[in-house]
């Protein structure tokens, strides 16, 4: 085994040991509609409210997201594991069919938000760069909705979905 492979495997195992919230990123616009399940979603600053997304450069959403620029980060609750699985490609649904199995609403900028999520964070990409195998997108938020019912969160930990109850 090469040193690079050892470090890559160790890094992946270490990151799998970090519990992370589960999000479905949706975008809809001139380049089309698409969604992807993600855990690499991090707050950057609250002035202005900015989120960072790290997405594999081979992901099908990259050209669509880059062209549309607007998106919604749907933070999933523990009852929404099926949504996470659909948008992670763990089911046999096509990218378009994934949107047919859930109830969707639109935010002020027309981006899709899944009903029942913990939060909907709408924004626009303000900058991006490529780091290794991933694109890093900085998204400035322009609309935020928080679920007042406060259901438990859906987490991803040690390569499995879990509930934070």
Which pLDDT score, from 0 to 100, does residue 53 have? 98
* Sign, Cα dihedral of 51, 57, 58, 61: positive
Which pLDDT score, from 0 to 100, does residue 4 have? 62
Domains located in the chain, CATH noted: 3-164 (2.30.110.10)
d(C-alpha 85, C-alpha 81), whole Å: 6
Which pLDDT score, from 0 to 100, does residue 18 have? 80
Both structure tokens of 123? 């924004």
Q: Are 113 and 72 in contact (CB under 8 A)?
A: yes
Strand (E) or helix (H) holding 86: helix 81-87
Q: What is the DSSP string of 5-74?
A: HHHHHHHHHHHHTS-EE-EEEEEEETTEEEEEEES-EEEEEETTEEEEEEEETT-THHHHHHHH-EEEEE
**Closest C-alpha to 71, from 45, 98, 35:** 35
d(C-alpha 119, C-alpha 43), whole Å: 14
**Closest C-alpha to 143, from 102, 103, 106:** 106
Which pLDDT score, from 0 to 100, does residue 17 have? 78
Which pLDDT score, from 0 to 100, does residue 94 have? 96
Which pLDDT score, from 0 to 100, does residue 99 have? 97
Tell me the pLDDT tens digit for each residue of 25-71: 999 999 999 999 999 999 999 999 999 999 999 999 999 999 999 99
Which pLDDT score, from 0 to 100, does residue 16 have? 78
pTM tops 0.85: yes
**Ranges of the chain with pLDDT below 50:** none
d(C-alpha 22, C-alpha 74), whole Å: 8
d(C-alpha 47, C-alpha 11), whole Å: 31
């Amino acid at each position: 085994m090469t040193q690079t492979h050892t470090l890559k495997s160790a890094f992946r195992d270490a990151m799998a040991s970090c519990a992370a919230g589960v999000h479905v990123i949706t975008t809809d616009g001139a380049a089309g509609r698409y969604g992807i399940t993600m855990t690499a979603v991090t707050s950057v600053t609250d002035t202005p409210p900015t989120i960072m997304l790290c997405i594999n450069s081979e992901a099908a959403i990259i050209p669509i997201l880059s062209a549309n620029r607007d998106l919604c980060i749907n933070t999933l609750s523990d009852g929404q594991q099926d949504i996470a699985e659909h948008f992670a490609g763990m089911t046999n649904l096509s990218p378009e069919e994934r949107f047919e199995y859930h109830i969707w609403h639109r935010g002020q900028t027309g981006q899709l938000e899944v009903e029942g999520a913990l939060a909907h964070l709408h924004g626009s990409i303000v900058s991006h760069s490529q780091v290794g195998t991933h694109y890093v997108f900085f998204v400035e938020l322009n609309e935020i909705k928080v679920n007042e019912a406060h259901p438990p969160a859906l987490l991803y930990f040690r390569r499995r979905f879990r509930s934070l109850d």
